Structure 1
């Protein structure tokens, strides 16, 4: 069985261009429904090493989680280059852009 971090990395790597997933959604698929903060840690510490599409991960409200304007703009620009747009309230329409893997969460184990 793979560990939580390994499963989360696989899930993040498989988010297609033009789609997003939430931290909590990734945590659930990786086997830890309360592990959203662990997903944040994985993205922060392992994105470069594993070439993760970190910009495709957002919070459960459909918002970019960065408070820093430069990081916010970098994520926004990366998403927009893939066709994911924020509305006038800086939110992403999860009904339209959220990725729902066809593979049940338990198959990532």
Structure 2
């Protein structure tokens, strides 16, 4: 059995101290790093629920049943869940980057 999870995050980076102005490449790297860290933490939590607790603490059954009512009736969720394959898709985007541009000619935005 497969459980497919899509997580989408919209982030705001609001503070930047004495660093270079963030360009699109750096922003993409940050998004990728955040996605990797979130994936690691989420998979760890799910793994604990499956292997240690053997309990669907995230209530995936509710969504599985809604999408696959016939199959849900045929299986024993409590037996299937601990062995389910988890497919995680994480999308992270920065929506607004309210940062100071250190290259700005305006004195109020310069960082010493």
TM-score (structure 2 length as normaliser): 0.27
Kindly indicate which of the two structures has a greater share of residues assigned to strand.
2
Kindly indicate which of the two structures has a greater share of residues assigned to helix.
1
State the structure with more CA Rg. Answer: 2
